[in-house]
Amino acid sequence: MTSNRAVTWCSTAVIPLALTMLWVGSAIAHDFWIVPLTFDVEPGGTLEARGQTGTRFPVSEGAVRVDRIAKASVIDASDAERLTDLSVSEKSLVIRHGPVNAGQRVIAVALVPSS
């Protein structure tokens, strides 16, 4: 048999605390993904991608500031090159790179944690 005191304590302390922790966790956790504007860039052209942040892919809820980028690289079959052409436009981080050679590439971005 459960006492009324135990039920009251649970409903007034534990349940609100659990709900608050769930809300705070979802409020601070956002995904970051990179969305290329095109998948086919000729040598000498400009590879452009958007760094999107939020919970509703592919819509960005806010841009990652450039000062939060710990490292950004473009990696191809033979080399990795540091990305330096980073800016913010509206709610997106803008990533640009001018590939010299043809071939597939991967863009990698490491973010500095924020709280």
Would you say residue 7 has pLDDT above 70? Answer: no
pLDDT tens, 67-110?
999 999 999 998 999 999 999 999 999 999 998 888 899 999 99
Please state, in angstroms and as integers, the Cα–Cα distance from residue 84 to each residue in 62, 69, 72, following that order.
21, 10, 8
In angstroms, the CA 95 to CA 36 distance is 9
Looking at residue 93, what is its pLDDT? 96
pLDDT tens, 25-76?
444 557 889 999 988 888 889 999 999 998 888 889 999 999 999 999 999 9
Looking at residue 26, what is its pLDDT? 45
The CATH code that applies to domain 30-111 is 2.60.40
Greatest CA span in the chain, whole angstroms? 77
CB 31 within 8 A of CB 60: no
Looking at residue 3, what is its pLDDT? 55
- Where is pLDDT greater, at 16 or 108? 108
What is the four-CA torsion angle of 38, 41, 45, 48, rounded to 10 degrees? 30
Give this prediction's pTM: 0.71
In angstroms, the CA 36 to CA 34 distance is 7
